[in-house]
Amino acid sequence: MKNPLSNTDLFKLSALLFVSFTFFYLGKRWSDGNQRILFFSSYTSSRTSQQNGYVSLSPNLNKSFDISSLISQNQSLASPYIVPSPAPVDPLPPPPPPERFGIVNEDGTMSDDFEIGEYDPDLVETEWNGDRNGTEATKSFKITRYEMCPGSMREYIPCLDNVEAIKQLKSTDKGERFERHCPLNGTGLNCLVPAPKGYKTPIPWPRSRNEVWYNNVPHSRLVEDKGGQNWISKEKDKFKFPGGGTQFIHGADQYLDQIAKMVPDITWGHHIRVVMDAGCGVASFGAYLLPRNVITMSIAPKDVHENQIQFALERGVPAMVAAFATRRLPYPSQAFDLIHCSRCRINWTRDDGILLLEVNRMLRAGGYFAWAAQPVYKHEEAQEEHWKDEASVIVSDAKFFLPNLAAKKLASQTKQPSVTFHFLQSAVVFPKLSTFEELKIRQSVKMLDLTTRLCWELVKKEGYIAIWKKPTNNSCYLNREAGTIPPLCDPDDNPDNVWYVDLKTCITRLPENGYGANVSLWPERLRTSPDRLQSIQLDAFIARKELFKAESKYWNEIIESYVRALHWKKMKLRNVLDMRAGFGGFAAALIEQKFDCWVMNVVPVSGFNTLPVIYDRGLIGVMHDWCEPFDTYPRTYDLLHAAGLFSVESKRSFGVIREFDSSFSLVVFLPDLSLHTRCNMSTIMLEMDRMLRPGGHVYIRDSIDVMDELQEIGKAMGWHVTLRETAEGPHASYRILTADKRLLHA
**Which letter does DSSP use for residue 177 in this model?**
G
- Confidence (pLDDT) at 601: 99
Closest CA to 105 of 94, 116, 118, 114: 114
With bands split at pLDDT 50, 70 and 90, how would you rate the model's confidence at 504?
very high
Give the pLDDT score at 431: 44
343 pLDDT band, cuts 50/70/90, is confident
Distance CA 450, CA 353 (A): 7
- The domain covering 207-478 belongs, at the CATH homologous superfamily level, to Vaccinia Virus protein VP39 (3.40.50.150)
What is the percent of the chain with per-residue pLDDT over 90, rounded to a whole number? 57
Q: What mean pLDDT value characterizes the chain?
A: 80
Phi then psi for residue 304, to 5 deg, are -65, -30
271, 683, 694 from 192: Cα distances, Å: 43, 11, 12
What is the pLDDT, as a whole number, of residue 114? 56
Q: Which residue has the higher pLDDT, 32 or 587?
A: 587
Please give the C-alpha separations between residue 510 and each of 275, 410, 476, in angstroms, as whole numbers: 19, 27, 11
Note the pLDDT tens digit of each residue in 45-87: 444 444 444 455 555 555 555 555 555 555 544 455 455 555 5
Across 295-304, 482-491, 553-562, least confident range: 295-304
Instruction: Tell me how far apart the alpha carbons of residues 509 and 474 are, in angstroms, rounded to a whole number.
Output: 7
Q: What is the tens place of the pLDDT at every residue in 88-121? A: 555 556 655 555 555 555 555 555 555 555 555 5
Cα 503 to Cα 29, 471, 488, 665, 666: the distances in Å are 105, 21, 14, 15, 14
* pLDDT above 70 for 712: yes
Which string of b and e fits 328-343 if b means at least 16 CB within 10 Å? bbbbbbbbbbbbbbbb
How far is it, in rounded angstroms, from Cα 312 to Cα 232? Answer: 11
Q: Which is more confident, 53 or 677?
A: 677
Output phi, psi for 261, to 5 deg. Answer: -75, -35
Residue 25, phi then psi, degrees to nearest 5:
-65, -45
26-35, 214-223, 229-238, 582-591: the lowest-pLDDT one: 26-35
Residue 216, pLDDT above cutoff 70: yes
pLDDT band at 187 (very low <50, low <70, confident <90, very high): confident
Identify the pLDDT of residue 573.
97
Beta strand extents in 267-318 (DSSP E only) = 274-278, 295-300
Is 207-478's fold the same as 520-740's? yes
pLDDT the model gives residue 84 = 57
The contacts of residue 91 (CB under 8 Å, 6+ apart) are: none
Among 120-124, 311-315, 474-478, 687-691, the least confident range: 120-124
pLDDT at 539: 76
Closest CA to 601 of 564, 640, 648: 640
Q: Quick check: helix, strand or coil at residue 13? A: helix
Res 650: pLDDT: 84
User: Mean pLDDT highest for which of 43-47, 280-284, 717-721?
Assistant: 717-721
Q: Specify the pLDDT at position 708.
A: 95
Q: Tell me if 675 sits within 8 A of 654, measured CB to CB.
A: yes
Asked which of 15-19, 378-382, 433-437, 717-721 is least confident by mean pLDDT, the reply is 378-382
- 544-565 and 585-592 helices, crossing angle to 10°: 50
Looking at residue 37, its pLDDT comes to: 43
Least confident residue range of 201-215, 541-555, 679-693: 541-555
> 520-740 is classed in which CATH architecture?
3-Layer(aba) Sandwich (3.40)
| pLDDT at 229 (0 to 100) | 66
- Residue 251: the pLDDT is 86
Between residues 546 and 650, the one the model is more confident about: 546
Q: What is the pLDDT of residue 422?
A: 37
CA 477/CA 487 separation, integer angstroms: 8
Q: Per-residue pLDDT averaged across 183-202, rounded? A: 92
State the number of CA atoms in the 13 A half-sphere of 244 facing the CB: 10
Question: What residue ranges do the domains of the chain occupy?
Answer: 207-478, 520-740
The Cα–Cα gap between 494 and 492 comes to: 6
Lowest-confidence range among 98-102, 143-147, 302-306, 713-717? 98-102
Asked if the model's pLDDT at residue 664 lies above 60, the reply is no
pLDDT beyond 90 at 32: no
Residue 54 Rama label (left phi>0; alpha psi -120 to 50; beta): beta
pLDDT number for residue 273: 98
Q: Cα separation of 370 and 468, whole Å? A: 7
Q: What pLDDT digit, counting tens, does each position of 440-488 carry?
A: 677 778 899 999 999 999 999 998 899 999 999 999 999 999 999 999 9
Note the pLDDT tens digit of each residue in 362-408: 999 999 999 997 553 434 444 444 444 444 433 233 333 344 444 44
**H, E, C per residue of 544-612:** HHHHHHHHHHHHHHHHHHHHHHCCHHHHCCCEEEECCCCCCHHHHHHHHCCCCCEEEEEEECCCCCCHH
Under 8 Å between Cβ of 334 and 359: no
